Amino acid sequence: MKLVIDRSRWIRGLDPRASYLIRREDQKMCCLGFYGLACGVPSEELLGKFSPNDSKTFAALQPWLISEWSALEGMLSASCNNLMRYNDSILYDSNREKLITLEFAKHGVEVEFIDGDNQ
């Protein structure tokens, strides 16, 4: 699968509490929001949500995003947590795109970043 992330619509490097799968006020999204749409999750299910475990459809379509430990049902997987951390933290500004690309590649997802600035 190929995932395209448009930098002009991408929320990154902000406080995690300001990052959403799809942010209501401007329709900007984190890397997982782009991924959810690419996987066929309806935008209404991503709107105003913080993570994939907030959407039953997203979790069902991409089970690798949720922890495999049944005792921790609904917990995010290490890969999902990594993606959220790389997307949101200012610590990764210089290599954010590379880290996100490498993490998605572990799950057979090729990432391409287009347009916008490199914030």
Single-letter amino acid, residue 7: R
36-70 pLDDT per residue, tens: 999 999 999 999 999 998 888 998 889 889 876 54
pTM (predicted TM-score): 0.89
pLDDT computed for residue 63 by the predictor: 87
Domain ranges of the chain: 2-113
pLDDT bracket for residue 25 (50, 70, 90): very high
pLDDT at residue 15 greater than cutoff 80: no
Distance (Å, whole) CA 20 – CA 38:
16
Q: Which residue has the tokens 């913080």?
A: 50
91-105 pLDDT per residue, tens: 898 999 999 999 999
pLDDT computed for residue 74 by the predictor: 59
Give the single-character DSSP code of 13. Answer: S
